[in-house]
Structure 1
Amino acid sequence: MRKFFLKIHLWLSIPFGIIIAIVCLTGAILVFETEILELCYPSRYFVKEVKNEPLPPASLISLAQQQLPYSMKINGIRIFSDPKRTYQLVLPGKKAAVFMNPYTGEITGIDDGQGFFMQMMRLHRWLLDEYKRDGGFSWGKTLVGVSTLILVIIIVSGVFVWFPRNKKVMKNRLKIKTKAGWFRFFYDLHVSGGFYAALLLLVLCLTGLTWSFDWYRNAFYTVFGVKATQTQVHTSPSSALTSKETYGKKAGSHEHSNAERKEKRQKKTDYTQWADVLTALQNRYANFNSITIQDGSATVSSLKYGNTRGSDRYSFNPATGEITEIQLYDDLPKSGKIRGWIYSVHAGSWGGIITRVLSCLVSLLGVIFAVTGYYFWLKKMMRKLK
């Protein structure tokens, strides 16, 4: 039985090892994306001088429009609780943003959302293949998914093959010898390091697969007793900040919603009421990470550990700034929370810096396992040739 699992471990690792190494390396890099960007571009993310009060959103957007090309559309603004942080103007496209000094209105940087880390994410998830928004077949996405599934089998077979048979072997198995030559060092790193990393690496694989296959995602949700249902908005007149009546309820007809969206597209966004919305939300939250305001909606991200994508969502009347609809994260059903939890566990952000460091180290070990595995295999082939 051990020989059978050894063959599975070997012959699955050889064809998929390169892809596994790429996915693990890019995953390790993406864990500290924010910190690396802040280190490389400090003036983009932090102001040199903190003044008394930041400018209101309408003034900042007006100043930005004077400095940016006319064709560049501003979708919203993101405000941080840290007074040293610059504000971000949200642009169309994933992660695209303009960074502004909130006290002077000066643009400190522009991220088009297509830089190094976006390419790392594309390599990590799709092997640089094009993302199919319509859900169509993607070779890159499929290869990453299959390789991740293969990695699960490789991890399980590796643990089975090298699991210690007694306490004495266990004691030696958990040591990495550094003074017995390079071959022994690489062997211990591959085997003993595999024992230390197996559980967390397996968790990263099992959560990552939810983005690759619909059938796996549905099964994953089912295991946790969750059905993929449409998120419901929880509203309560008593929980609104300033409004006594609701606006744009879900009970409205589909035609009415379409008419509202069409009217919004035709109207020019009025940013003057965003200051009232920002003040209302800042008064409500003693601690928050960021507040993002867009036309008729606002999102508050908290500083809590756990689901780092969990946030409270608000709707407001663009004409008056009144909060009209509230969707609190705590009130969401499990189906509305699990996707954020999957991301937080996969990225290692659920427990703060400690879990992120562990996720990064385990991902780097995944690269080392692939490289050392090829090293052992090539050494064996060279011996046979002799």
Structure 2
Amino acid sequence: MSEKKKNKRRSTILKIHKVLGLTTGLVLFIVSITGCLWVFKEEIESFYDDYKYIQPIEKQFISASSIKNIAETILPERTIHGVVYGAPNEAIEVVFYEAEPEIFYQSVFINPYTGDFIKRIDNTAGFFGFILDGHLTLWLPEAIGSRVVSYSILLFLIILISGLFLWWPKSNKNWKQRLQFNWNSKTRWKRKNFDLHTVTGFYISSFGLILAFTGCVMAFNWFYFIAYKATGGDKAPQFIMPNNISKNSVLKEQNPPYDQLIPALSKTYDAAKNFELHYPENDSTAILVEVSNSKGLYYDMDYLFFDQNTLQEIETTSIYGKYKNAKFADKVIRMNYDIHIGAIGGIAGKIIVFLVSLICASLPVSGVLLWYGRTYKKSSNRRYYPSEKKLLPRK
């Protein structure tokens, strides 16, 4: 390819990079800042979550149906999403969730031995509720904000790829300049800003691509489906709630069969961190129990389905079944959220995602300053005399 064509291609890519960066800059800044704050949510909340713990006693937990009745008296006419059973010293958490007409997401904590009410928490309120709202919707109406965020993250993939192309040195002698900060007392702020944008951008680009990719998987159904099929997936990639196998309903009995589930499963899954029981929605749907096998992780959970009348286990054709039955593509999709927040790598992974998100937030800032400096150049401390065809110092 001729030098002229290379320069033209580079100019086109630079224009795309610049336009997309300026268009999505504010959105990417907000999403990145809120994302890095969200990473350590569990660790920060652990400093003030005493209400989640109780004094264990030598007694069986109260039944699932009793928990349901108690919770419904606290939040009547609201929909119970699930009941989380933890360790013997942890309170039971009853999660209420409704998506329409507006999101209702609250938790009620109950003593598992006595049924006493401990505390009610609004999961959409407080500092982290505010942070999550900004991360997902920019604090705009959900229908508008979520779309703006989703497409901005998709464009961020293009911005990162085009940035890598622009970063690539034209000659070998420029490699050192692109890989490290070579500053001294005479280095101007424009040079420093350029290096901050290009050098740091290069080092976090691979992680930035991962964060943007996993974000797109959660944002777009078509992206999710393509990612699953591209990795060799052959199951139903969506969550499927199977129906009962039996015909007769016993939902109105005093002691429904699901009261037996958690005591039985706690013996089978004795190393489980917690169990989340989902009551059957109607006479025909199965019971779902999510078994958490690792603290702070979601990908290796077991999703178990049971006939609500006979407690016979029902197999699912979805990727959301038992983790031991998951294939490579199933695991990749199930790991998506844990990868996105860095939990897949433990505390080290979260620190990496925190730093990458923080640097991603700085890129729109340094990029705007770079654009501004080139577009609105201030006159230098020199004066030009056209007749003499040279620059003379200003007196």
Scaled by the length of structure 2, the TM-score of the pair is 0.74
Task: Say whether residues 1:357 and 2:351 are aligned partners.
Answer: yes
Which SS does the other structure have where 2:216 is aligned?
Answer: helix
- Residue of structure 1 equivalent to 2:389: none
Which SS does the other structure have where 2:335 is aligned?
Answer: helix
Q: Retained in 1: the 8 A contact 2:52–2:91?
A: yes
> Rg bigger for which structure?
2
- Residue of structure 2 equivalent to 1:286: 270
Which sits farther off after the overlay, 201-210 or 220-229?
220-229
Any idea what the Cα deviations from partners look like across 1:95-130, whole Å, max 9, x if unmatched?
532123435544332223322434433432333455
In 2, Cα distance between equivalents of 1:113 and 1:130: 18
Match of 2:214 among 207, 218, 239: 207
In 2, Cα distance between equivalents of 1:183 and 1:217: 40
Which SS does the other structure have where 1:352 is aligned?
Answer: helix
Q: Retained in 1: the 8 A contact 2:86–2:275?
A: yes
Indicate how the Cα distance of structure 1 residues 158 and 354 shifts in structure 2: closer, same or farther if over 3 A, else same. same
Letter of the 1:121 counterpart: L
Task: Say whether residues 1:325 and 2:314 are aligned partners.
Answer: yes
Cα drift, residue 376 of structure 1: 2.5
Unaligned runs of 5+ in 1: 132-137, 236-246
Task: Say whether residues 1:56 and 2:62 are aligned partners.
Answer: yes
Indicate how the Cα distance of structure 1 residues 315 and 115 shifts in structure 2: closer, same or farther if over 3 A, else same. same
In 1, Cα distance between equivalents of 2:257 and 2:39: 37
- Residue of structure 1 equivalent to 2:91: 86
Which sits farther off after the overlay, 164-173 or 11-20?
164-173
Cα drift, residue 304 of structure 1: 7.8
- Residue of structure 1 equivalent to 2:377: 383
Cα drift, residue 291 of structure 1: 0.4
Indicate how the Cα distance of structure 1 residues 54 and 165 shifts in structure 2: closer, same or farther if over 3 A, else same. farther
Percent identity of paired positions between Structure 1 and Structure 2? 26
Indicate how the Cα distance of structure 1 residues 158 and 230 shifts in structure 2: closer, same or farther if over 3 A, else same. closer
In 1, Cα distance between equivalents of 2:74 and 2:236: 41
Scaled by the length of structure 1, the TM-score of the pair is 0.75
- Residue of structure 2 equivalent to 1:77: 83
Cα drift, residue 381 of structure 1: 4.0
In angstroms, what is the RMSD of aligned CA positions?
3.7
Cα drift, residue 45 of structure 1: 2.7
Cα drift, residue 141 of structure 1: 3.0
Cα drift, residue 64 of structure 1: 3.9
Match of 1:102 among 106, 112, 120: 112
Cα drift, residue 46 of structure 1: 3.2
- Residue of structure 2 equivalent to 1:224: 231
- Residue of structure 2 equivalent to 1:45: 52
Which sits farther off after the overlay, 14-23 or 347-356?
347-356
Letter of the 1:210 counterpart: V
Which SS does the other structure have where 1:292 is aligned?
Answer: strand
Task: Say whether residues 1:163 and 2:157 are aligned partners.
Answer: no
In 1, Cα distance between equivalents of 2:60 and 2:305: 24
Which sits farther off after the overlay, 62-71 or 16-25?
62-71
Cα drift, residue 53 of structure 1: 4.6
Cα drift, residue 62 of structure 1: 7.3
Cα drift, residue 277 of structure 1: 2.0
Which sits farther off after the overlay, 12-21 or 276-285?
276-285
Cα drift, residue 371 of structure 1: 1.4
Task: Say whether residues 1:115 and 2:125 are aligned partners.
Answer: yes
Q: Retained in 1: the 8 A contact 2:71–2:94?
A: no
Any idea what the Cα deviations from partners look like across 1:266-294, whole Å, max 9, x if unmatched?
x37746852x3222212112322210123
Indicate how the Cα distance of structure 1 residues 164 and 80 shifts in structure 2: closer, same or farther if over 3 A, else same. farther
Aligned runs of 1:28-43 on 2, under 5 Å? 28-39=36-47, 41-43=48-50
Cα drift, residue 197 of structure 1: 0.5
Q: Retained in 1: the 8 A contact 2:231–2:329?
A: no
- Residue of structure 2 equivalent to 1:344: 338
- Residue of structure 1 equivalent to 2:386: none
Cα drift, residue 163 of structure 1: 2.4
Unaligned runs of 5+ in 2: 1-6, 99-103, 280-286, 316-320, 381-395
Q: Retained in 1: the 8 A contact 2:33–2:357?
A: yes
Which SS does the other structure have where 2:180 is aligned?
Answer: coil
